[in-house]
Amino acid sequence: MRFRGFEFGLMEFAGAFGDFGTLLPFTVAYITICNLDPAGIFLGIGLTNICLALIYKLPLPVQPKKAVGIIAIREKWNPNLVYGTGIALGLIWIVIGLSNVINKLVAKVPKCVLRGIQLGLGFTFALEGISMLKSNYLLGIIALILAILFMGSRKVPISLIIIGMGIIYSIYTGVFSISSLKFAFSVPSFHTPSIYDIVYGFVFAGIAQFFLTLTNAVIATIALIHDLFPESKNQVTPKSLVLNMGVMNSILPFIGGMPMCHGAGGLAAQYAFGARTGGAIIMEGILEILSALFFAGSIKEISNAFPLAVLGAMLIITGFQLGKVTTDVQKKTEIFIMILTAVLAVAFNIALAFFVVLAVHFSLSKGLIFLKNKNRKQ
């Protein structure tokens, strides 16, 4: 069914599940280790997805802020510290978004560096996916083979098939029982992080997250959107993405929402599994809101019961989708820059790779100009 630019068919619904491989691990860890309220997390994600769909009409989902998540989970932060970090980053993104600095910055990033970031993300997702396959090689490889065979099909909703396979496996092995589902209405509680939570969270996690968000959630996401949906170039800009992240992170922590951002991985995942319009994330958002309001008590159990190997297969496909768009780099120097960016991104992190390679690219460009001028003089 098509309605005002939105598709609500089976393939869009299948695409809505595409980013669960990147979404579920962090949300479950936040709930289990940091004691965040499941209702608040899923209500925040759901409301944001629906708003983004209505604004852009594209499958542009949100993802957890990974640097904040890793630090918070490792250090076992309390909920208010997590919420305070989100608010700090939200306010900073609003300030940056109200200027035109971000548009000018992204416009000057060389294409080969953009492609290197995307390739590095692709390898990162694929390696994480391979690691998840270790939990059950047979199940994971079957899911991966099915995903490869039907990836790109507009008739076979492969993500629904392999997710269904994972659910059946969990029930068959006794890891999960439908009778254990807890149906009860719940409303997220209101949270008020202190100034200490906001400042501490920003200093110890927000600064690292800022540069990761700049590269992955803004630069890489904009490049992928314009690759997959070239007609959206004037609608989806770095400034608009930054303001989105500013608003969502300034408001949602008060109802228990985790720090969130855009991400090339989420977009690539949903596109790979069939999403082509905002209808996918409207359906995803509705599922998340219903889960928050009526199944908050079961979210942790459901997520923990789902086979990691199936999520791993989905991450590998997401990595392939991200890497696929890098094939348009032709010149030897640019290929070198792209590969160097990807290697550094995998070995260290995307933000470090971005700044190091920009310096290398600038030096090479200056060197080539110098050599050309020298040859002309001779």
Cα–Cα dist 145/89, whole Å:
40
For helices 111-133 and 332-347, what crossing angle results, to 10°? 40
**In 3D, which of 43, 118, 12 has the Cα closest to residue 294?**
43
Confidence of residue 228 (pLDDT cuts 50, 70, 90): very high
The string of pLDDT tens digits covering residues 74-126 is 899 999 999 999 999 999 999 999 988 898 888 888 889 989 999 999 999 99
Cα angle: 41, vertex 62, 329; to 5 degrees: 155
Please tell me the least confidently modeled range out of 69-73, 149-153, 237-241, 338-342. Answer: 149-153
Cα–Cα dist 27/85, whole Å:
16
Quote the mean pLDDT of the chain.
90
Task: Report helix, strand or coil for 37.
Answer: coil
Task: Report helix, strand or coil for 183.
Answer: coil
Contact 262, 217 (CB under 8 A): yes
* Strand partners for 6: 3
Query: Domain tally for the chain?
Result: 1
pLDDT of res. 372: 53
Give the β-pairing of 63-64 and 2-3: unpaired
Average pLDDT over residues 20-45: 91
pLDDT of res. 375: 55
Sign (positive or negative) of CA dihedral 145, 135, 122, 56: positive
pLDDT of res. 108: 85
Average pLDDT over residues 296-312: 88
Which residue bears the tokens 């269904």? 164
Contact 345, 127 (CB under 8 A): no
Residue 373 has pLDDT above 70, yes or no: no
Cα–Cα dist 325/354, whole Å:
18
Cα–Cα dist 102/240, whole Å:
10
- For the record, the structure tokens of 260 come out as 């969130």
Q: Residue 110: in which H helix or E strand, if any?
A: none
Q: Residue 64: in which H helix or E strand, if any?
A: strand 63-64
- For the record, the structure tokens of 365 come out as 């460009």
Q: Which region, left, alpha or beta, applies to residue 277 given φ > 0 means left and ψ of -120 to 50 means alpha?
A: beta
Contact 157, 13 (CB under 8 A): yes
Cα–Cα dist 284/19, whole Å:
10
pLDDT of res. 4: 73
Confidence of residue 374 (pLDDT cuts 50, 70, 90): low
Average pLDDT over residues 187-214: 93
Contact 316, 22 (CB under 8 A): no
Residue 304 has pLDDT above 60, yes or no: yes
DSSP code, position 173: T
* Strand partners for 64: 260
Cα–Cα dist 252/37, whole Å:
12
Which residue bears the tokens 């199936």? 310
pLDDT of res. 129: 93
pLDDT of res. 371: 47
Residue 366 has pLDDT above 80, yes or no: no
* Strand partners for 261: 63
Q: Number of C-alpha atoms within 13 angstroms, CB side, residue 198?
A: 15
The string of pLDDT tens digits covering residues 65-78 is 999 998 999 899 99
Question: Which percentage of the chain shows pLDDT scores above 70?
Answer: 97
- For the record, the structure tokens of 45 come out as 């994600």
168 Cβ neighbours under 8 A, 6+ residues apart: none
Confidence of residue 370 (pLDDT cuts 50, 70, 90): very low
Domain with 222 in it:
2-377
